[in-house]
Amino acid sequence: MKRRAKAIMIQGTMSNTGKSLIAAGLCRILWQDGYETAPFKSQNMALNSFITTEGLEMGRAQAVQALACGKEPSVLMNPILLKPVTDMGSQVIVMGEVQGNQKAMEYFRHKKEYLPEIRKAYDDLAEQNDVIVIEGAGSPAEINLKQDDIVNMGMAELADAPVLLVGDIDRGGVFAQLIGTVQLLEKEEQDRIKGLLINKFRGDASLLTPGLKQIYDKCGKEVLGVIPYMDVDIEDEDSLSEKLWQREKGEKIDIAVIHVGKLSNFTDFQAFAVEEDVTVRYVEKREELGNPDVVILPGSKNTISDLLALRENGIEAAILRLSEKGTLIFGICGGYQMLGRTITDSSGTEGEKRTCRGMGLLPVHTAFAREKTRTRTEGICSILSGEFSDLSQKKVKGYEIHMGESVREEGAEPFLILQGKEDGCVCRNVAGTYLHGIFDEKAFCSTFVRMLCERKKLPYREGKKETYEQYRERQLDILADTLRSCLDMRRIYEIIGLKQPLREVVPAQIEKESFAIIGRELEHRGICLPAEEEMVTKRVIHTTADFDYVKNLYYSEGAVEKLRKALREGACIVTDTQMAKAGINKKTLGKYGGGVYCFMSDEDVAKEAKERGCTRAFVSMERAAALGKPLIFAIGNAPTALVSLYELMEKKCVEPAGIIGVPVGFVNVVEAKELILEKKEEVPCIVARGRKGGSNVAAAICNALLYGIQEKG
C-alpha cells in the first residue's frame, strides 16, 4: 500500500491575511513534532521566486515553508507560478519551466489544462510525507472565479483536505470577513471548513470572547485561535509585504531601495536584519530619497517600463545627482541592467520591441532573450578598485534568474567571478550584478556594512554573530512557539487526523530548550533585558510561565552582583516556607559556606507567637536576626514576614545582606513590598511589585543568583 499523506489547508478571507506565515508556522510545528511534512500551493502569483538545486523556478513562500519543514525546496510544492508582467497578464511557469506570457483571460480559459500537473505533483508529495500543509490564494468566496478553481476549494476537494479559514482583524471587519466568506460558499464547501483563525490581533484577546460566540452562532464554525500581530522576520512573497512600506531612515546606516513598479526578489535585502544600525527603506517618490548611504536598484520583472517610470518621476535624475556626489549605487539583476548604457528588447520579451537608454552609470549593454537564465551559483568578488575595493575576494553565493545578457565595454571591470565566469560590473562608486541573495553570505554583507560605516566615519558593530540562515531558523522557531501558544493544537491535530505527540526531549535538554523558547519569545515581543538581570528574570519566567515578571520584577541598583557577592562570601538564606527552602539548591549554596533556614513551621515558634500575641512571621524574623550571620531574606509567601523584617530593620535589630521580596496574595501584599522598597538605598533587593510572586519565585531567584556565580567561575 502506497503512503498517502494527511492534509490540512489554510485559506483566507482575502489576500494578505497571513496564510503563508501561518502555513509556515504549522509546517514548523508538525516537523518539530516528528512528522514528515511538506508545503503545497497549486498556483502562486508572486514576483519573489526561488531557484531550486535543479535550476527550476518556484514561489518564494513555498521555499520558506519547505525550509520550515527541514526540506530542500522542490517545484512539486508549487507546480504553477504566475509572475505578473503587466496589469493584465503574467509569465506562466509550470513545474519550474517558463511556458510563456498569457493575458488573464487566456490563462483562465486554459488553467484547467494544468490540473494533471497539479494532481501529479500533489500525489508525488503525498507519497513521500506524513502530512501536507496546503495554502490557498486570495479568497474561496470570489464567486466570479469559483468555476474551474484549482487553488482554493477545488484544491481542497482534490486533496480531500479539511480547511482552516483565516481572517485579518488588523484591517477591520473580521467578523464580516469570516461569516460572509462561509455563507457565500456551497454547503459541501462549508462542511470542509473545520475551524476559523483570527490573525494580527493587537491587545487583550479576551475582549473578543463575546464576538467569537456570535461567530459560532451565525455560521456554526468555531474559532480555534486568535493570533497576535507577529513581528517575526520571515521572507515575504509579494507586493503586499509590509516591509515595502518601510520609509523611515535609520540613525546610522541608511540603505534606500528603489521601489520599482514590478519589483521582484526584494528578499535580497532580508539579510541586513542581522546587522546592527542598518535601516532598509523603500523609496517610491523622488522627495523620499534624501541622502542615503547607498542606493540599491533591485530586480524588476519589467526592467524597461520601470526604468522609464523612474525617469518620468524624477528618481533617475536624483540617483544621478547622488552618484556625482559619490554616493554608492548598487544594482541587482534588473537594477544592474538599468545602470548600464542601453537595454534592447528585440523580441518583445517585456511586451514591445524597443531599445532604451539606461542611466549610463556602468559601461554595460543589455539585450533581452526569450530563454531565461536560472541557476544556483557561487564564487568570489573580483579584485576590485575604487569604492568597493574592501569587497575584493569575498565569497558570495546565490542564484541568477533573468531573461537578458549584459556585455561590458572593453576594459570595464567585472564585479564577481561566479564558477569561473565574470559577472556584473563596477566603476568607481557604482556596481551591479545578476546575483540574487548576494547579501545572504555573512562575510560579504558584514564587509559591505563595515565599508559604509568607514565612509561615514562611524564605528562598526559586528551585529548578530549568526549567519542569515541561522537567523531565519530562529525566526521560524519563534513563529512556531507563537502559534503553539495561541492555537488549539489538540483540535487541529484531530482535524488533520493525526495524533498529537509528546515531543521527545532528553530530560537534560528540557531546561535548555525552555530557556531557548523564552529567549525567542522575548525577542518576538521586542524585549531586551539588562544583562545583569537577564538570567534571574528568565529563570522566574521559566518557573512560572509568566512573562509579566519582565515588568513586575524590580532590581535595586547593582542588586544582582551585590547579592551574588554576599552568597560567594558565605551568606545564608532565610525563607518563610518549607517549599522555598526545598526548592533552593543547597548543594551549590554549601560550596560557598552558606545554608538555608526556615523557622515558620517550628513548633516552638508557633508557641512563642501565641504567648506573645504576635505573628509567627515576626518571631521567625527575630530568630533569623539572632543567628549573627550575613543573611539574605527570600520571602515568597507571607507579607507579614516582610513587614516584620522592615520593623526589625527600623529598630536596627538586623542588617540584611539582601532581600528577595516576592510574597503572593491580595491582603497587604502590595503594601509590604513597597515598604521594602523604601530600604532600596540601604540594602540590595529584588522585589516582585504587585500581587504576583510565591515560594517558587523566591527559590528561582535564589538559584539564578547561585548559578550565575558558577557561570562566572
528 is catalytic: no
Q: Which residues contact 462 (CB under 8 A, 6 or more apart)?
A: 276, 446
CA distances (Å), origin 250, targets 120, 243, 281: 48, 15, 9
Q: Quote the CA–CA distance of 516 and 533 in Å, as a whole number.
A: 17
DSSP character at residue 413: B
Torsion angles phi and psi, residue 219, rounded to 5:
-130, 0
CA distances (Å), origin 350, targets 215, 237, 300, 337, 568: 47, 21, 11, 14, 73
Grid cell digits, residue 385: 578598485
501, 523, 505, 526: which is closest to 514 by C-alpha? 505
Helices (H), 417-547: 442-455, 468-486, 489-496, 507-524, 531-544
436 is catalytic: yes
Q: Quote the CA–CA distance of 217 and 555 in Å, as a whole number.
A: 49
User: What burial letters (b/e) apply to 496-520, b meaning 16+ CB within 10 Å?
Assistant: bebeeeeeeeeeeeeeeebeebbbb
Beta bridge partners of 226: 198
DSSP character at residue 112: G
* Extended beta strands in 190-293, E state: 193-201, 223-228, 253-258, 263-264, 278-283
684, 686, 676: which is closest to 536 by C-alpha? 686
Helices (H), 1-152: 19-32, 60-68, 104-110, 115-128
State the catalytic residue, choosing from 219, 333, 427, 445: 333
Q: Quote the CA–CA distance of 107 and 83 in Å, as a whole number.
A: 12
The residue behind cell 554595460 is: 364
First to last CA, the chain: 59
Q: Are 644 and 661 in contact (CB under 8 A)?
A: no
Q: Which residues contact 234 (CB under 8 A, 6 or more apart)?
A: 21, 24, 64, 472, 475, 476, 479
300, 275, 567: which is closest to 440 by C-alpha? 275
CA distances (Å), origin 126, targets 33, 129, 133: 18, 5, 11
State the catalytic residue, choosing from 259, 365, 436, 524: 436
Q: How long a stretch of residues is the chain?
A: 713
CA distances (Å), origin 130, targets 23, 26, 560: 16, 13, 49
Grid cell digits, residue 399: 542564484
> Annotated catalytic sites, by residue?
333, 436
